[in-house]
Amino acid sequence: MPATAEAKTMTIEANGLKIEAKPGEMLLETLRRAGIHVPTLCHIDGLFPSGACRMCVVEIEGRPGLVPSCACPVTDGMKVETHSPRAIRARKTIIELLLANHPDDCLYCVRCDNCELQTMAAELGVRQRRYGNTANKRRYFEDRSSPSIVRDPAKCILCGKCVRICEEVQGVSAIDFGGRGSDSHICTAFEEGLNVSSCVYCGQCVVVCPTGALTEKSYIREVLTAIADPEMTVVVQHAPSVSVTLGEEFGIKPGTDICGIMTAGLRQLGFDRVFDTGFSADLTIMEEASELVHRINTGGVLPMLTSCSPGWIKYVEEFYPDFIPNVSSCKSPMQMLGAVTKSFYAEREGIAPDKIYSVAIMPCTAKKFEAGRAEMGRNGIPDIDAVLTTRELAEMIRMRGLDVTSLKPEAADTPFGERSTAGKIFGATGGVMEAAIRSAYYFLTGHDLEQLKVEAVRGLDGVKEARVNVDGLEVCVAVVNGLGNAAALLEQIRAGRRDIHFIEVMTCPGGCIAGGGQPRTTNLDAVRERMAALYRIDRDEPVRASHHNPSIKRLYEEYLEEPLSHKSHDLLHTHYAERKVMK
């Protein structure tokens, strides 16, 4: 007899095995939980199933045709064959049809050996072309107009993942389906380049794309050229989240911190100095927390919005320009470190700023866009010369033939290699807020929080709120990750909500640990492991507040004077303006 809606579990049979299922869930989810692999090219965990690719089809006893398991609710007593001859033939035919109009440039494709289409073709034994021929293939042109993302429509398989993540999660809708029937393709508005679209360059489309249709724009060649130039001093900084994700590119368990190994690898790649962006995350907190305190004390514009995530900044400029006054004037940690490297560091080392080539290893494709913004530099010299993603760094390490398992850990260069753990947790959603609370509380009261851990702002929830009592003043803060969630909160404020003082927004769901430049995965368990690694570092190391970082104190004593000083405003702060784009 079928289970009732109130039943906690039900039983189904898959490939002759009895497995438990939960009422209301889709068959694909049940099968995966039981360790049964069913291929799919279009499914995104957490989003309503589209059933577009049909790769996950299975046979169900009593039903005449093949059924897409991603869109089939489980029923008690259901009997399923996931790899019947009929299902395998259907999947193989789908792959053969996709390859009929797909380029044969696997040797040159950035996704070679990491392509879901290639992997499925190998699994299904597709080793020759059955349909179509090269002469009849549709011709497309690469879109390289964006500073961050390259779009190659010829490699698109119309799975729709990029469209869904852009619209349903990020609320940007920079791309969509165009044409009908055999003319269907993914495109921007009016078939223009990404550079004039509403794209915020977050790279979440790159993460979910199963082929090489969407990739980050690589700057490896420019960086290698700079390293080879004897007249250039090439410095590199690495973002807080990179050390706990880079190892995944080399088969190391998610969440393993390889910071010292990465530093050693960067030196072997030829970088002259290795700095930690966690240092400038501390610097950001000194300026941002001071700005928040100043706004609260002087009746400034509230709620204040964080400015660390460049995709979020572009989103505000495009979709919510009325909130630009709310955005903190602080540059991001990457840009702050670039600025002090080409000023304070250049002066101390006696190096001309234009002879310093500043490279940033970032989890984010939007950072490539940010580095090129006109506001991010002085006297015609950019703060940052090139941005590489975590994936690009892994590529350089492979090119150099380095074995990360044999490298001996090394420390970063001082003074920009010293950070507090508050700067390290910047990599997770809620980390900026927690670090800011620690320092803002100190600035307002003169003493540290009794409990530095702020549990309410931790975790992967899309929106989190907390209230902190600061000597009788109740400060309300909110943490948001994913631009769709940010839009919902901004609409509440537009509608009259007035209780929030400070909002942290990270463009990517989960924060920088799941940024568009990180190792490709949609596995939430991996993202949780990355987050847990950052919080373990925060728990175990002694300096846990930005204002206690001795190198930060030194920088203010020797150069910046104090937070929000004229010099710090000149170097570390910026401004933003409304953008007009095609939507």
Rounded to the nearest integer, the mean pLDDT of the chain is 95
Catalytic one of 248, 288, 318, 434: 288
pLDDT reported for residue 7: 55
Beta bridge partners of 362: 389
d(CA 33, CA 354): 55
pLDDT reported for residue 3: 43
pLDDT in tens, 454-491: 999 999 999 999 999 988 889 999 999 999 999 999 99
Catalytic one of 56, 205, 308, 330: 308
Residues 404 and 297 in one domain: yes
Q: Which tokens belong to 137?
A: 């293939």
Query: Is position 308 annotated as part of the catalytic site?
Result: yes
Residues 140 and 79 in one domain: no
Using the 3D structure, point to which of 170, 198, 216 is the last residue of a domain.
216
d(CA 219, CA 206): 16
195: domain CATH number? 3.30.70.20
Phi, psi of 167 (to 5 degrees): -90, -50
Catalytic one of 148, 197, 243, 328: 328
Under the banding of pLDDT at 50, 70 and 90, the label for residue 267 is very high
Element spanning 340, H or E:
helix 333-340
d(CA 310, CA 371): 9
pLDDT reported for residue 135: 60
Residues 405 and 451 in one domain: yes
Q: Which tokens belong to 525?
A: 């368990």
Give strand ranges (E) for 390-486: 463-470, 473-481
CB atoms near residue 220 (< 10 Å): 14
Catalytic one of 318, 370, 418, 529: 370
pLDDT in tens, 422-446: 999 999 999 999 999 999 999 999 9
d(CA 72, CA 49): 9
Query: Is position 288 annotated as part of the catalytic site?
Result: yes
User: What mean pLDDT comes out for the span 249-271?
Assistant: 97
Instruction: State the greatest distance between any 2 C-alpha atoms of the chain, in Å, as a whole number.
Output: 82
Is 583 inside a domain boundary?
no
Catalytic one of 512, 529, 546, 568: 512
Phi, psi of 382 (to 5 degrees): -70, 150
Catalytic one of 155, 331, 367, 464: 367
Query: Is position 123 annotated as part of the catalytic site?
Result: no
Residues 236 and 212 in one domain: no
Residues 438 and 528 in one domain: yes
d(CA 346, CA 3): 71
Residue 252 DSSP one-character state: P
pLDDT in tens, 169-226: 999 999 999 999 888 999 999 999 999 999 999 999 999 999 999 999 999 999 999 9
Residue of 451, 450, 457, 468 whose CA lies nearest to 434: 457
538 pLDDT more than 90: yes
Residues 57 and 99 in one domain: no
158 pLDDT more than 90: yes
315: domain CATH number? 3.40.50.1780
Residue 575 DSSP one-character state: -
Residues 201 and 58 in one domain: no
Using the 3D structure, point to which of 183, 216, 249 is the last residue of a domain.
216
Specify the number of domains making up the chain: 3
d(CA 336, CA 237): 11
Residues 385 and 327 in one domain: yes
Is 562 inside a domain boundary?
yes
Residues 112 and 32 in one domain: no
pLDDT reported for residue 287: 98
Q: Which tokens belong to 298?
A: 């002087």
- Secondary structure (DSSP) of 366-384: HHHHHHT-TTSEETTEES-
CB atoms near residue 353 (< 10 Å): 18
Is 580 inside a domain boundary?
no
d(CA 216, CA 193): 15
Residues 308 and 440 in one domain: yes
CB 143 within 8 A of CB 195: no
Query: Is position 375 annotated as part of the catalytic site?
Result: yes
Catalytic one of 61, 349, 375, 561: 375
User: What mean pLDDT comes out for the span 103-125?
Assistant: 94
Written as one letter, the residue type at 225 is: T
pLDDT reported for residue 8: 78
Using the 3D structure, point to which of 216, 241, 266 is the last residue of a domain.
216
pLDDT in tens, 513-536: 999 999 998 788 999 999 999 999
The label of the residue with tokens 């046979």 reads 59
Residues 77 and 129 in one domain: no
Is 533 inside a domain boundary?
yes
Catalytic one of 291, 317, 434, 504: 291
567 pLDDT more than 90: yes
User: What mean pLDDT comes out for the span 371-376?
Assistant: 96
* Domain residue limits at 199: 93-216
Is 412 inside a domain boundary?
yes
d(CA 520, CA 216): 12
